[in-house]
Structure 1
């Protein structure tokens, strides 16, 4: 996936670029990177869960009304207009072998004074990366399944703009040879 950190809505398996995503009946901006490097889509991961009142799903094609991005249907996220208490949502995650920990907490609340209503949400996210060297199966290419896949790591490869190899010099190579 070439869209890190994004969550997309894909109705009927036609791709997220054919599902219309609305927030309170209005289109939201496309994610700045294309989905799988090919098509535009909208990211729904930035909508705080505590702010959602309901989700409406239009399962039939709505392309005649909304355009080609609604061929598979549409999803409308309706946000709260009044706070009905305070909502705290917390998610923790880790891998079975450790590393890659994640933490996500959101608090949604608000207040009313006469005809004035204010609703707010605060969200905290923390993710620890999981590096390939932390797993035996990916720690190097020396344990690859075929002889052709067993190549040295290219951690210090330097190239120029034309992708031509830049020789760092014998002294630099000698200093790094122990690795």
Structure 2
């Protein structure tokens, strides 16, 4: 059975190992902002996992005590933007696509519950334009495509285009 919880600095080493494993296996990626090992550095991850960081929450998925998946939520708590959250770095390590999709769906259900508790109305996600599996996955969960952003990310001299997706947690009055 899969267990979910918010990760802390106590999870630093296992979370870093998960990220490094996912960096080498594109099949395990649903949405991703990490394209190099520098971002998975201990300093960067310590900041993101800190309980003092009010803008970042990382939810992990565990089976038999082993971290097998995670996703990062960024909430920019400034006037006018606090009602939405950004989902990034969602990856699941599993032996087959069906299991990966099942765990990813359960992880997203945890994200939806977290958003409801935090009074978040809108969930945004970005998916690399060539990640067809992820685009189908999010479409099956009723995420809508907002736009295609060309050259959205730049890593050294390599650009990555991405699709921006939206999911409405709450019905927003017109």
More helix by proportion, 1 or 2? 2
Q: TM-score by structure 2 length?
A: 0.22
Structure with larger Rg: 1
Q: Using structure 1 for the length normalisation, give the TM-score.
A: 0.22
Looking at secondary structure, tell me which structure has more strand per residue.
2
Point out which structure has higher relative CO (alpha carbons under 8 A, 6+ apart): 2
